[in-house]
Structure 1
Amino acid sequence: MNFIAYPDREFMMLDVAGKIAGQLSEQLNMYGRASLSVPGGTTPGPIFDILSGVNLDWANVAVMLNDERCVGEDSPRSNTRLLKQRLLVNKAAAAQLIPLYAEASEPELMLKHLAEGIAPHLPLTVLLLGMGNDMHTASLFPGADLLAEALAANAPILMALRAEAAGEPRITLTAPVLQEAKNIHILITGPEKRAAIEAAAGLPALEAPVRVVLDNATVHWAE
């Protein structure tokens, strides 16, 4: 992996946002359309704020989450809700949101429909990921019920996974989709996550799911 350590978080957020904007702009100039996949949670929020004000042809950018909790947008735990509040505003309001959640009695019932919306935008132009202290990324959690299937080379675009650490069932992009992204960035902060990602480099993906993208990722870290 390519590891970049920053002197502070503010500088890191500015630099990562600039790199993402540049990669999207290059793709738009070459092909007329681009795709961006981002994590939920509060850590990438400053990057979303910066990107939302960047001059890009946002109308031709498809934006999707890495994963989503199986909750509606009225829930404070909804990643889609955060995305609409922090990224898909200002200039980026023109971007196309590709959903990872649809209301259903069981998440598996909507996977085919949701995947059909994602497929035309693959491979992803830019993939921004986070990572937990347990070395999960997206909703690929160690110990998840279908983790081996989601890590497999023939995994479908989307899967529903359940894990004790995840709380609700999650819908997640699978390992092949993550691995095939043209530009992969992992954003982490603090000493525990630095130690975790360094440990992950020497572990199998079933123990450290983030391992599936490390070889081709740029890891951005600040204390």
Structure 2
Amino acid sequence: MTKQIVRRHVFEQQDALLKELFDRIGQVADDAIRQHGNFRIVLAGGRTPEALYRKLVHLDTDWEHWFIYFGDERCLPVDDPDRNDTMARSAWFNHVAIPPEKIFRIPAELGAEQGAMHYRQTIATVVNFDLVLLGIGKDGHTASLFPGNELGITTESPDVLAIKNASKQPPQRISLSASRLSRSEHVCFLATGETKSRALELWESGVDLPVSAITPVNGVDLYTDLTEKEE
């Protein structure tokens, strides 16, 4: 497996972290639209991403050229408040002019197997994403790729995995594979709050965690408010 390159960006305050990501996403979007006419971004779930999405409402950009995808989804009914697409719609999409047909939600209400099959078809024509946003769980999981489960790290792995035994509720989920998430020009991890500190320590010490399986050619950027511990 390709060695992972990690660039760490540490901020004392979450507001500063969100401002830095806000600016970076705007710049990457502008560059992508200028270079090839659209900007393809993969979204994460979680509280810090939600705060970022609320901030992105105020981004000065050409929303007409944004294409939105999701890194994972819980197998819950449409509009369930615990779904990532429900959160993103409430925090962001309802307030900007992204064309609805350019928001590609995961049909997780169909169940893990059928929903994963549909989403594989949805993203089949996307060669590389421009930017992927990912969170980190306290067990080192990212998207819905959990320790002990299939991560999809090889090029032969399906781009979208049906997850049936996640270690968090609900157990049935759908997730882009590690290999597919790695096919992006930019990958940004967000890790805030003390509950993530142990996972970051393990990750940075070389422990084999799902977050370690995301290996884009250009490396990954970790945005965190957790400083490195003194030796």
TM over 0.5: yes
The partner residue of 2:51 within 17, 36, 46 is 46
Map of 1:1-223 to 2, 5 A cutoff? 1-94=6-99, 96-104=102-110, 106-144=111-149, 147-148=150-151, 150-168=152-170, 169-201=172-204, 202-204=206-208, 208-213=209-214, 216-223=219-226
1:100 deviates by 1.1
Aligned equivalents of 1:54 and 1:119: distance in 2?
29
Q: Aligned letter for 1:183?
A: H
Q: How many residues align?
A: 216
Q: Secondary structure at the match of 2:61?
A: coil
Q: Which 5+ residue runs of structure 1 have no aligned equivalent? A: none
TM-score (norm 2): 0.86
Q: Is the 8 A contact 1:143 1:163 kept in 2?
A: no
Any unmatched runs of 5+ in structure 2? 1-5, 227-231
In structure 2, how many angstroms separate the alpha carbons of the residues matched to 1:73 and 1:52? 23
Aligned-residue CA RMSD in angstroms? 1.9
CA distance in 1, matches of 2:156, 2:148: 20
Following TM superposition, the consecutive aligned residue runs of length 4 or more in structure 1 with deviations greater than 3 angstroms are 92-95
Of 6-15 and 68-77, deviating more is 68-77
TM-score by length of 1: 0.89
Q: Deviations over 1:4-53 (max 9, x none)?
A: 11010011111111111110110001100110111112221121112122
Using the TM superposition, give the Cα deviation of residue 93 of structure 1 relative to its aligned residue in structure 2, in angstroms.
Answer: 3.5
% identical equivalent positions? 24
CA contact (8 A) 2:49 2:190 kept: yes
Tell me how far apart the structure 2 counterparts of residues 155 and 214 of structure 1 sit (CA, whole Å). Answer: 15
Which letter maps to 1:91? V
